[in-house]
Amino acid sequence: MASEKSPPLPPGLDLLWGRRERGQRGPRPGLSVDAIVATATRIADAEGLAAVSMARVAKELGYTTMSLYRHVATKDELLQMMWNASALGAEGLVLEGDDWRTRLRAWAIFQRQMIDLHPWITQMPMAAPPVAPNSLTFVEKGLETLDDTGLSDTDKLRVIGLLSSYTLSEARMAHDAARAAVAPGAGAGAAAAAGAGAGAAAGPGAGADAAAGSDRGGPPPVWGFEALLRELVDAQTYPRLHRIAWAGEIGGDPAGFEETEEFLFGVDRILDGIAALIDRTHDNRPHRTSGGTGTPGARHSDGPTP
């Protein structure tokens, strides 16, 4: 449970984590958060994230825009709930395989499949790691694949972040290329429109809906990833994330966050993979003998023989 000293959670997270009751007001009780999220997701799947607005969703459902605000306070919240719903399959995900590599590969493939089902995910700004319940369940599943590797918890989280970022980046390029092929010359404009439409997901006050729906009398509290994990995850449901959060190794001050170390960690791991590829290429290459006959033999450190 939230402690009495905890500041308010970022918009949307309190609803996602059951810290705020779902709206039930109004003369037409048929409208619900689930219906709103499902309709918004259907629009985004068909037309992209830029097509999603509170007014458009209300029109599709046959309600006024103000009716939606009884259930979803801002567009920020709606986007977060859409993201959480897109990862619903993570709860029942079973990663099979005899080794960590096979299971982690399946984890990455599952993420790519989620994105292919909902390509608008690639249009969501990543101002911070997702901390919706289903998103953290997915992260927990990834961490589980690395249980027996001997890696530190910090490196496990970095590995998961690196692989997830790579998967998202590759999916984004593929879907951007597909959109450009369907509408030549519209790629840049579509991307800009998508970014504008999804701007509310960047955080409190980032979008027009957030500005209209927020009147807290001052800037909202700034949460770090570690602080959010400590506030939201419990040891029974998210044992690995809970351990990482309370180890104090990932930092809790977003204002003082230094990205260089994380970036270089990713670069170094990718370079490790390239080095392994180079070594394997050399190991599999036929070696010439000193006579230059092409018969496998010892390699010479002073270059090819004349």
pLDDT at 215: 40
- 277 in a domain, yes or no? no
Residue 3 lies in a domain: no
pLDDT for 201 equals 29
pLDDT of residue 24: 56
Task: Please check whether residue 275 lies inside any domain of the structure.
Answer: no
| Terminal alpha carbon distance of the chain | 75
Which amino acid would we find at residue 114?
Answer: M
Q: Taking the complete model, does pTM exceed 0.75, yes or no? A: no
What is the distance between the alpha carbons of residues 115 and 89, in angstroms, rounded to a whole number? Answer: 12
Tokens matching residue 256: 């003082």
Question: What CATH number should be reported for the domain holding residue 215?
Answer: 1.10.357.10
Strand positions, DSSP E, 166-282? none
The first and second tokens of residue 304, run together, are 């090819």
Q: Is residue 284 part of a domain?
A: no
- Is residue 33 domain-resident? yes
Place of tokens 């825009």: 65
Residues 6+ apart with CB under 8 A from 104: 95, 142, 145, 146, 159, 163
For the chain (306 residues), the mean pLDDT of every run of 10, in chain order, is: 66 82 60 95 96 97 94 91 92 90 91 94 82 94 92 90 90 85 52 32 32 46 81 93 88 52 75 81 67 44 39
Which residues are CB-contacts of 46 (< 8 A; sequence separation ≥ 6)?
none
- How long is the chain? 306
Residue 299 inside a domain? The answer is no
Q: How many CB atoms lie within 10 A of CB 158?
A: 18
163 residue type, one letter: L
Determine the pLDDT at residue 26.
Answer: 52
According to DSSP, residue 225 is labeled: H
Of 126, 156, 160, 159, give the one whose Cα is nearest residue 247. 156
Would you state the pLDDT for residue 176? 87
* Residue 182 pLDDT: 73
Counting the structural domains of the chain, the total is 1
Residue 173 domain-assigned (yes or no)? yes
On whether residue 300 sits in a domain, the answer given is no
Domain of 197?
13-257
